[in-house]
Amino acid sequence: MTTEDDIPAGKPPRSLSEVLGTVMRRMKMSDESAAFGVFSHWREIVGAPIADHVTPVRVEKRVLTVQVEDPAWATQLKFLEAKILSTLREHVGDEIDSLKITLRHSRK
């Protein structure tokens, strides 16, 4: 449990909206709700078959990085990239220009 004694002296605590605004600017996203929408509504945006195998990781400089669980999904996503970007624009606006696809490392 945090008490007043645990808060460093000198700087007052920042509001959550201020902190989120800073994060969004660093990610080069102008609309906080768009970034939130990508992560919170991923399954609805891309559909269950894709969402079951592809996870959004971050948005930075208008690039959405996603992780896939298998190289076959990386190939599939390359074929679907234009459609996914179009669907993202419908749901969150023009905040994402491209996808960066990475392979999730398995922990064996």
Asked, for residue 98, whether it belongs to a domain, the answer is yes
First to last CA, the chain: 36
Asked, for residue 82, whether it belongs to a domain, the answer is yes
Asked, for residue 1, whether it belongs to a domain, the answer is no
Asked, for residue 108, whether it belongs to a domain, the answer is no
Give the confidence band of 21 by pLDDT, cuts at 50, 70, 90. Answer: low
Asked, for residue 92, whether it belongs to a domain, the answer is yes
Q: Which domain holds residue 76?
A: 14-103
**Residue 53 belongs to domain with CATH number:** 3.30.300.180
For residue range 22-80, what is the model confidence (pLDDT) as tens digits? 655 555 454 455 667 788 889 999 999 999 999 999 888 889 999 999 999 999 999 99
Asked, for residue 43, whether it belongs to a domain, the answer is yes
**Total domain count for the chain?**
1
Q: What pTM does this model have?
A: 0.68
